[in-house]
């Protein structure tokens, strides 16, 4: 019963049998009603013989034959104001009345089920309109035993027929669903399991069919997803190898550039005017190269950094950032701390310091003279707004924002600052997003868990 096929078979049989029951019960009720109406019709025909007899007299032998033909102890026909009676000399006492006038379907069903469940034999007084003439009311005194025998026989025949129909229908429905639904789903499941074991094996990608229904759509989407995932894993493996190589190269290159920077510092003291003129340019170029190496190494390494979470009060942290920010031309950039005292977040303090410093330094290097940092609590998170009065981000930078090595605003920049800041925020369960940017300034929103 754990497989879809077994559950499908059981449910199919159950619902088909339920439909057969809904057919069986009204069928039995209709059969009982038809049987009783036949008795009324036979009684009417028998009484017509009495009506045609001279002076309404019939012989005892004919009377017994007519009652035996109807299967009744007595017949009473009310026509207009007259009664025609055909009865045995001593009919048995009536034990139950059956009135067929204005009987609802539910009442007929209940009466039919009562016939199937009763064990005693009763004498019934059947009353109803004649099937031949609705203006004539007929009363027939009959035994219940023949009625029960006929109903039971009909019920068994209907039951056997319903069972055969149910089995045939259930088998056909089961085989159809097995072919159209279960088998394709089993193929999809097997493909997913096989692909999980070795995602880089092209042979394990699902081979979809041309079906136009939902199963076909699921098969094609699975094949596309597996192909895209395999390509992404291969690219990730190549990037990982490339990142390892770049990290090693940058580590060695940073050492070489540091040595060159020490030598270039000595050139500033040279007596040669030409040497002193080109030395600042050389030092600036080496500084940018060292910064590029440092940023690249930080981007490669930071993913493995473990978070050291603690409840950090924001206001003192921002005060520490304020004294370390200056613009590219040496003009001091003011950092306005607009955070309420006591507001705290649950983060790694060093990493949050790095994120906010990167954002404030980027604003300063873009030409902002003021950076305002405010924060407010919104439910279970704290939203930190970083606004500056700089010239805003150009369209090219907005298109590739947060992309490493692509989203830089400055010429020669790496774009790693914002990429690293966003990844650090997401590692904390938060996010970093651009709220707005224009010639009047730029605003970023940093979302972090409050506790």
What is the pTM for the complete model shown?
0.43
| pLDDT, position 188 | 84
The CA distance from 359 to 386, in Å, is: 8
Give the domain extent around 130: 4-169
Q: Which stretches in the chain have pLDDT values below 50?
A: 304, 327-329
The CA distance from 87 to 96, in Å, is: 18
381 with 273, same domain? no
371-375 contacts, C-beta under 8 A, 24 or more apart:
371/325, 371/333, 371/334, 371/335, 371/336, 372/336, 372/338, 373/318, 373/321, 373/335, 373/336, 373/337, 373/338, 373/339, 374/338, 374/339, 375/314, 375/339, 375/340, 375/343
Which of 362-395 are b and which e, b meaning 16 or more Cβ less than 10 Å from the residue's Cβ? bbbbbbbeebbbbbeeeeebbbbbbbbbbbbbee
The CA distance from 103 to 111, in Å, is: 10
10 with 105, same domain? yes
152 with 262, same domain? no
Residue 100's closest CA among 39, 48, 148, 154?
Answer: 39
Of 125, 146, 169, the position where a domain reaches its end is 169
In a domain? residue 193: no
In a domain? residue 281: yes
291 with 314, same domain? no
284 with 426, same domain? no
Phi and psi (nearest 5°) for 248? -65, -45
244 with 359, same domain? no
The CA distance from 140 to 36, in Å, is: 10
Residue written as tokens 């109903």?
151
HEC letters along the chain: CCCHHHHHHHHHHHHHHHHHHHHHHHHHHHHHHHHHHHHHHHHHHHHHHHHHCHHHCCCHHHHHHHHHHHCCCEEEEEECCEEEEEECCCCCCCCEEEECCCCCHHHHHHHHHHHHHCCCCCEEEEEEECCCCCCCEEEEEEEHHHHHHHHHHHHHHHHHHHHHHHHHHHHHHHHHHHHHHHHHHHHHHHHHHHHHHCCCCHHHCCCCCCCCCHHHHHHHHHHHHHHHHHHHHHHHHHHHHHHHHHHHHHHHHHHHHHHHHHHHHHHCCCCCHHHHHHHHHHHHHHHHHHHHHHHHHHHHHHHHCCCCEEEEEHHHHHHHHHCCCECCCCCECEEEECCCCCCEEEEEHHHHHHHHHHHHHHHHHCCCCEEEEEEEEECCEEEEEEEECCCCCCHHHHHCCCCCCCCCCCCCCCCHHHHHHHHHHHHCCCEEEEEEEECCEEEEEEEEECC
In a domain? residue 389: yes
In a domain? residue 381: yes
Of 251, 266, 300, the position where a domain reaches its end is 300
Render pLDDT for 42-95 as a digit per residue (tens, 0 to 9): 888 887 776 666 655 667 787 788 888 888 888 888 877 677 777 777 888 888
**CATH classification at residue 338:** 3.30.565.10
Residue written as tokens 């097995």?
178
In a domain? residue 194: no
Of 122, 147, 169, the position where a domain reaches its end is 169
364 with 277, same domain? no
**CATH classification at residue 282:** 1.10.287
296 with 320, same domain? no
In a domain? residue 201: no
In a domain? residue 181: no
Q: Which two tokens stand for residue 356?
A: 């906010």
Domain count, the chain: 3
291 with 418, same domain? no
Residue 67's closest CA among 94, 85, 93?
Answer: 85
157 with 14, same domain? yes
334 with 290, same domain? no
- Cα dihedral sign, 355-361-365-367: positive
Question: How many other C-beta atoms lie within 10 A of the C-beta of residue 9?
Answer: 19
Give the angle 253-255-259 at the CA atoms, nearest 5°. 115
296 with 392, same domain? no
In a domain? residue 192: no
Who contacts 437 (Cβ-Cβ below 8 Å, separation ≥6)? 392, 393, 398, 443
The CA distance from 20 to 22, in Å, is: 5
| pLDDT, position 445 | 92
């Amino acid at each position: 019963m754990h497989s879809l096929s077994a559950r499908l078979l059981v449910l199919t049989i159950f619902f088909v049998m339920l439909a057969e029951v809904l057919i069986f019960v009204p069928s039995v009720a209709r059969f009982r009603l038809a049987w009783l109406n036949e008795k009324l019709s036979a009684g009417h025909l028998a009484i017509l013989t009495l009506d045609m007899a001279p002076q309404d007299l019939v012989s005892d032998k004919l009377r017994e034959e007519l009652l035996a033909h109807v299967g009744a102890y007595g017949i009473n026909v009310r026509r207009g104001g007259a009664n025609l009676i055909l009865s045995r000399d001593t009919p048995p006492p009536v034990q139950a009345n059956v009135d067929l006038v204005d009987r609802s379907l539910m009442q007929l069903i209940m009466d039919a089920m009562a016939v199937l469940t009763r064990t005693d034999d009763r004498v019934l007084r059947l009353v109803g309109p004649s099937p031949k003439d609705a203006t004539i009311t007929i009363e027939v005194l009959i035994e219940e035993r023949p009625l029960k025998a006929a109903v039971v026989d009909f019920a068994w025949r209907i039951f056997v027929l319903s069972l055969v129909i149910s089995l045939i229908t259930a088998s056909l429905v089961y085989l159809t669903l097995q072919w159209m639904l279960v088998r394709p789903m089993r193929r999809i499941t097997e493909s997913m399991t096989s692909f999980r074991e070795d995602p880089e094996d092209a042979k394990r990608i699902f081979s979809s069919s041309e079906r136009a229904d939902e199963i076909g759509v699921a098969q094609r989407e699975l094949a596309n997803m597996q192909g895209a995932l395999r390509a992404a894993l291969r690219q990730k493996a190549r990037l990982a190898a490339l990142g390892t190589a770049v990290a090693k190269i940058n580590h060695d290159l940073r050492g070489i550039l540091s040595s060159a920077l020490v030598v270039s510092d000595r050139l500033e003291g040279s007596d040669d005017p030409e040497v002193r003129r080109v030395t600042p340019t050389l030092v600036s170029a080496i500084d940018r190269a060292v910064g590029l190496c440092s940023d690249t190494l930080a981007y490669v390494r930071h993913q493995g950094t473990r978070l050291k979470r603690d409840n950090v009060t924001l206001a003192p942290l921002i005060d520490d950032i304020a004294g370390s920010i200056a613009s590219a031309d040496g003009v001091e950039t003011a950092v306005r701390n607009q955070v309420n005292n006591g507001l705290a977040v649950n983060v790694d303090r060093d990493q949050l310091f790095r994120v906010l410093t990167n954002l404030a330094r980027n604003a300063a290097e873009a030409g902002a003279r003021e950076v305002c940092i405010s924060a407010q609590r919104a439910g279970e998170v704290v939203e930190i707004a970083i606004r500056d009065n700089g010239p805003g981000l150009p369209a090219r930078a907005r298109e590739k924002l947060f992309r490493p090595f692509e989203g830089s605003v400055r010429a020669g920049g790496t774009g790693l600052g914002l990429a690293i800041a966003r990844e650090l925020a997401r590692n904390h369960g938060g996010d970093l997003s651009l709220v707005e940017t224009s010639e009047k300034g730029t605003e970023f929103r940093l979302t972090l868990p409050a506790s």
